[in-house]
Amino acid sequence: MSQTDTATELALEAARKQKIHNLKLKTACLENEEYIQELHVSDWSENQKQKLGAAHEKAGELLLAVEVGTKWNLTQAYDLAKLMRVCGLEMSQRELYKPEDKPQFMDVIGLKKTLQELKQNRNKTRILSFTGMIDNAISKVEKVEEELRRSQLDATQLAQIPVSTLKQTEDIMNVTNIQTALSSTEEQIKTVLAQVEKTNEIQNVAMADGEMQVAEEQMYTKVQLQERLVELIHDEYRIISKVEDENAPFKKIYETQKKANQETSQIKDAKRRLKQRCEADLKRIHDAIQKADLEDAEAMKRFSSQKEKSERFLRDNLEKQDECWRKIQDLERQLQKLGTERFEEFKRRIEENDREEKRKVEYQQFLEVVSQHKKLLELTVYNCDLAIRVTGLLEEMIAEACSAIKARYDRTNQELSDLRIEVHKQYLEFFRMLFLTLGNLIYKKEKKLEELDRNIRTTHIQLEFCIETFDPNAKKHSDAKKQLYMLRAQTEEELGMLKEKQNKAQEDFQATEEALVAAGIEFKHPADEQNEEVLNRRSKMVEYRAHLSKQEEVKIAAEREEIKRAKQLRAARIDSSPTKAAITAGTGASALSATAKSQGAESRE
């Protein structure tokens, strides 16, 4: 602040000295004119005329010295405030960029470093789809940096715009790869499927060899393996859902792009407005310069005309003075008047010269101020253009990054959707295998339960027959009946367990069924296949029973005939003798017991 005050004081002191110098020049010129006036009224003689001629010569020299030596360039006649007031300028110097301003682009260098770090991501497979975008972004940021180095711009705010986009780029590069995540589960599924195939082979061999217990054990093993397949499918659902959750935040990437576009548009609009204001001021300055040039030319022409007129006047004045010297007596008063007019003309001319010199100084200062301010305005316009160009480059980089993220998001979603459909289809196959296996077991267990009920009824009848005759085999039938009840309870428990497994498997399959229907995939429900298979099996059994029923009807008819004959024989014996009737009754009961046992054996067969 003190240096500015000192410079102002020095400028004022120099202007004061210049003013004193100009005053001395004018005083000397006017004093000489007063002396000339005195000579006009003095005694007239040749000496006086010579003195007057010498004075005229000196007056010409002094006038030339005044015109050449008068300077007003140290007086402050035109400054920036006057320029802004006269030209109606809008832009103040504090709003303009200055040559000494340094560009601020360290945050842009930070952007380039962030992009280079993204390019060096530890997961090489995930950056393949972003390599082109990152390279283009680095190229654009380097171009932005190069442009900024030639400017006076502060790029701090501009560099903050792409930060969110780059952060989302890094996040989506770190999304779990679905193929890698599912690889372990797929291997387990393949292993379990191989075990299922092996179990099927063992079951088929056992059924071919009549080893029903082994076949049943293998079916239970197959159920466990198929349940394991269903669990693995559920694991795949969980993994897919997890990857979908990781991928979901990038669905709104265009909101990030929209926000970035709004911020860049604000910067570009601000720079465009600044540029328009600067260009408007430049136009006003250009018009002012043209106007000042015209005024300067007119003023110089006017001053030159006045000077020529003054020269003609002085020449005429001298001629008239010469004439007056010839007519001195007659023209004394006229000579005095002309001397006065000369004095007034000198005075006016000196004042006119002062005004002209001041005008020239003001014009030169105007040109200097205009030149400086014009340079600042042009520099500001250049920086605005550069800022708009740099902002556009960053907009392109953000748009490319957002497009790459959206493409990756859509591709991942499509892959997950396709993979989910494939998993649903795979689940359908595994569910079909499990459901049909459980249905086959349930059918066999129900038939076994029916067979046990028939055997229990038969054993109960045999037990009743033995009790009727105190047959010692009653104990054997009673134990057999207990054993059959235990076997029936065990079979009923297994049947309930199998039905529960089948119901649970069907409930778990409900979501997959709805998904397959929604996807438009046609399939036959395993329950329908199971019902069709049961009907086919029952039809086959009915045909077998129809084939055997003919032989059964023959046996039953023979038994009935034998019973009829036994009853007739018994009736005849009763009629003949009571004792024989009792014996015959015992024999008939034994025959009936034997017949019942035979029927039970045939029924078991």
- Residue 154, classed as helix, strand or coil, is strand
Number of H helices, E strands in the chain: 14, 0
Measured over the CA atoms of residue 492, residue 497, residue 503 and residue 509, the dihedral's sign is negative
Arithmetic mean of pLDDT, 78-102: 79
Taking the C-alpha atoms of residue 499 and residue 502, their distance in angstroms, rounded to an integer, is: 5
Report which of residues 385 and 573 the model is more confident about: 385
* Count of alpha carbons within 13 angstroms of residue 312, beta-carbon side: 6
CA-derived radius of gyration, the chain: 62
- Residue 104, classed as helix, strand or coil, is strand
Arithmetic mean of pLDDT, 210-222: 84
DSSP class per residue in 216-242: HHHHHHHHHHHHHHHHHHHHHHHHHHH
Cα 25–30–32 angle (5° rounding)?
100
pLDDT at 486: 93
Residue 44, pLDDT > 80, answer no
Bridge partners of residue 104, in order along the sequence: 154
Q: Residue length, the chain?
A: 605
How is the chain split into domains, by residue range?
A: 2-90+276-385
Residue 220, pLDDT > 90, answer no
Top-confidence range, 123-132, 320-329, 332-341, 515-524 = 515-524
Report which of residues 540 and 462 the model is more confident about: 462
Which of the four pLDDT bands, split at 50, 70 and 90, describes residue 595?
very low
CA dist 547 to 467, 534, 553, Å?
36, 20, 11
The answer for residues whose C-beta is within 8 angstroms of residue 272's C-beta and 6 or more apart is: 384, 388
**Do residues 360 and 71 touch, judged by C-beta distance below 8 A?**
no
**Do residues 499 and 442 touch, judged by C-beta distance below 8 A?**
yes
Arithmetic mean of pLDDT, 273-301: 87
CA dist 433 to 3, 196, 438, 506, 525, Å?
98, 10, 9, 12, 12
Arithmetic mean of pLDDT, 573-589: 42
